[in-house]
Amino acid sequence: MITLKTKYALKAMAALAEEHGPNGHSLRIEEIARRSGAPKRFLEHILLDLKRAGLIASKRGRNGGYDLIREARKISLAEILRLTDGPMAPLPCLSRKAYQPCEDCPDEEACRIRAVFGDFYATYVLMLESLTLADLGKDPALAVRLTTEAGT
């Protein structure tokens, strides 16, 4: 389950993606908050994290605001999830970026819990890595159908 912080981050990034491009313009934080439904104070922290990660840039001044730095199709949903929520792995021994051996497990290779969750996690990560910010702008009904079909 994604956190509220991640949900707001995805909505904010989707709003920025809608304005990205040659004819696009920067969005002020008030507009991003309105479009995402996020409280402005909470959104400030989220946008700062996204900026530090190099996903967005900010400009000051009359025409200032926030912009995407990269194309929406080059930003995976997994990247945003990891940035806002941290490691996605259900077990620390499965994490690529925050690996830790389980304290109660003497043999990772023989661990049945790791094997079952490892298969699930691999599929989950593959799906999230293949979905991009651009996919959030597509028809929501299509996204639900594709997700459902991929799971069957």
pTM of the model: 0.80
Confidence (pLDDT) at 142: 45
pLDDT digit string (tens) for the chain, length 152 residues: 789 999 999 999 999 998 876 566 889 999 999 999 999 999 999 999 999 999 999 988 887 899 999 999 999 999 999 999 988 888 888 888 888 888 888 888 889 889 888 988 888 889 989 999 999 876 555 444 444 444 44
Distance CA 120, CA 128 (A): 12
In a domain, 109, yes or no: yes
Q: What is the number of structural domains in the chain?
A: 2
Rounded Cα distance, 49 and 43, in Å: 10
Domain boundary among 21, 40, 68: 68
What whole-number distance in Å separates Cα of residue 127 and Cα of residue 151?
Answer: 10
Residue 8 shares a structural domain with residue 59:
yes
Largest CA distance in the chain: 61
pLDDT on residue 136:
86
Same structural domain, 118 and 93: yes
